[in-house]
């Protein structure tokens, strides 16, 4: 079997509103065709600010390497794609491109073998995949609104773990690294209100989105842990600085989760060696696809660290992540945004099977889903490589 074509589509499933700002959300689906009529699909989405378009263009730049290759030679193609761009930094855009291609190659390989990807990865360790809920608090501002959303959206879906960012005033990202007294009190009140609704047996995971400086991260994380027993404090400091994380670590009582902005197993070496985290949460569309996520999960397993993929993008991110999570002994939970469910399903011929806070995969070959090609082609922008660069 040989690869005959690589195409990239950018879709906009919906616009997303949070903290009073409306932003377009875009996903990049990658399609790889073969001479045996098998088509594989991958995803390389990166939100926001045209990240998906950048990855789509990068994937088309890899086309000349992929055409004519056997798509079931996943590891050698991974290594070739990754190594050819180390001069510009193979972690980042390159790693995202490799991720999208890798997911599509696993889809093809599974379809060719007539088996779901989880069987090719060693078989099932569980029948379905535990999820945690994000994206359930859109437009919430007050503690009462967060509490109502937890009660009316999260609990009826059967979730026993939920995540949110209670620091919306800091939406502009890392500027000062601090948080006002008013913002601190508000975050404290929001988390307490949610804890009161969900009770003691639910996990409350707090996302700091890498915005805070060291003393602020320590102050906030400890306060929320002491008051509301949060399950983890995610990305307490900017992802660029393991040195900052090293300063935070011994001062913070809350467990830490990091990884959504780390790329490939190489970025995780220092995290593991310096014992900088309690949970490992790489992103399958950025960290290197199914192949690389499995390696990072295996490294985490050697440290007895739970593996809990970041999952804030589209249809094939959640499906490929779930395929992998079916097979891992150290799996904790897979993230998903509840507001994305209609978007996931929009590009599939059959909806995903969410129930009781879990996702159950089909036993169909490959990723186990059929893309709605008509809907993708109708509603997407197909990214094209400039002809004069061929």
Residue nearest to Mg ion (CB): 207
- Give the nearest distance from C-beta 257 to Mg ion in angstroms: 8
* Nearest to Mg ion of 18, 385 (CB atom): 18
DSSP state, 151? I
- Report long-range pairs for 263-267 (Cβ below 8 Å, ≥24 apart): 263/91, 263/92, 263/95, 263/287, 263/288, 264/82, 264/90, 264/91, 264/95, 264/288, 264/292, 264/296, 265/292, 265/295, 265/296, 265/299, 266/91, 267/91
* Nearest to Mg ion of 153, 208 (CB atom): 208
Q: What are the residues whose beta carbons fall under 8 Å from the beta carbon of 139, sequence distance 6 or more? A: 17, 18, 145
- Give the nearest distance from C-beta 21 to Mg ion in angstroms: 17
* Nearest to Mg ion of 111, 261 (CB atom): 261
**DSSP letters for 298-345:** HHHHHTT--B--B--S-HHHHHHHHHHHTT-TTB--EEEEGGGHHHHH
* Nearest to Mg ion of 210, 357 (CB atom): 210
* Nearest to Mg ion of 308, 380 (CB atom): 308
Phi and psi at 70, nearest 5°, equal: -80, 115
Which residues are at the interface with Mg ion (CB under 5 A)? 207
* Nearest to Mg ion of 120, 190 (CB atom): 190
* Nearest to Mg ion of 106, 132 (CB atom): 132
DSSP state, 200? T
- Give the nearest distance from C-beta 152 to Mg ion in angstroms: 24
- Give the nearest distance from C-beta 60 to Mg ion in angstroms: 28
Cα 335 to Cα 344: distance, rounded to the nearest angstrom: 14
Phi and psi at 151, nearest 5°, equal: -70, -40
* Nearest to Mg ion of 207, 292 (CB atom): 207
- Give the nearest distance from C-beta 336 to Mg ion in angstroms: 13
Cα 313 to Cα 383: distance, rounded to the nearest angstrom: 18
- Give the nearest distance from C-beta 7 to Mg ion in angstroms: 30
- Give the nearest distance from C-beta 165 to Mg ion in angstroms: 8
Q: Are 326 and 118 in contact (CB under 8 A)?
A: yes
- Give the nearest distance from C-beta 312 to Mg ion in angstroms: 7
Q: What are the residues whose beta carbons fall under 8 Å from the beta carbon of 370, sequence distance 6 or more? A: 348, 349, 350, 364
Q: What angle do CA 101, 46, 156 make, to 5 degrees?
A: 105
């Amino acid at each position: 079997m040989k690869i005959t074509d690589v195409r990239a589509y950018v879709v906009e499933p919906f616009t997303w509103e949070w903290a009073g700002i409306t932003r377009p959300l875009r996903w990049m689906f990658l399609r790889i065709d073969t001479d045996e009529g098998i088509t594989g699909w991958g995803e390389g989405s990166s939100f926001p600010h045209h990240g998906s378009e950048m990855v789509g263009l990068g994937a088309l730049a890899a086309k000349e390497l992929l055409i004519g290759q056997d798509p079931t030679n996943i590891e050698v193609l991974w290594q070739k794609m990754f190594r050819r761009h180390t001069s510009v930094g193979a972690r980042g855009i390159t790693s995202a491109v490799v991720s999208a291609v890798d997911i599509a190659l696993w889809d093809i390989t599974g379809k060719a073998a007539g088996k779901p990807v989880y069987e090719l990865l060693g078989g099932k360790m569980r029948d379905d995949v535990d999820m945690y809920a994000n994206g359930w608090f859109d437009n919430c501002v007050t503690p009462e609104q967060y509490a109502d959303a937890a009660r009316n959206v999260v609990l009826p879906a059967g979730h026993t773990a939920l995540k949110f960012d209670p620091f919306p005033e800091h939406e502009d990202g890392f500027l000062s690294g601090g948080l006002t007294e008013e913002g601190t009190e508000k975050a404290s009140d929001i988390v307490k209100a949610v804890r009161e609704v969900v009770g003691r047996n639910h996990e409350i995971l707090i996302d700091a989105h890498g915005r805070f400086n060291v003393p602020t991260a320590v102050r906030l994380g400890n306060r929320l842990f002491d008051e509301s027993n949060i399950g983890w404090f995610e990305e307490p400091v900017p992802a660029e600085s393991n040195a900052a994380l090293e300063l935070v670590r011994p001062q913070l009582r809350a467990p830490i989760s990091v990884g959504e902005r780390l790329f490939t197993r190489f970025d995780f070496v220092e995290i593991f060696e310096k014992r900088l985290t309690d949970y490992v949460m790489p992103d399958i569309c950025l960290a290197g696809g199914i192949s690389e996520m499995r390696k990072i999960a295996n490294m985490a397993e050697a440290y007895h660290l739970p593996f809990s993929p970041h999952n804030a993008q589209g249809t094939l991110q959640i499906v490929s992540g779930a395929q992998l999570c079916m097979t891992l002994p150290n799996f904790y939970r897979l993230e998903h945004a509840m507001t994305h469910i209609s978007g996931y399903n929009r590009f599939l011929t059959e909806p995903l099977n969410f129930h009781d806070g879990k996702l159950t995969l089909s036993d169909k070959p490959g990723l186990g889903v059929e893309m709605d090609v008509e809907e993708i082609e109708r509603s997407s922008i197909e990214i094209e490589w400039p002809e004069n660069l061929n």
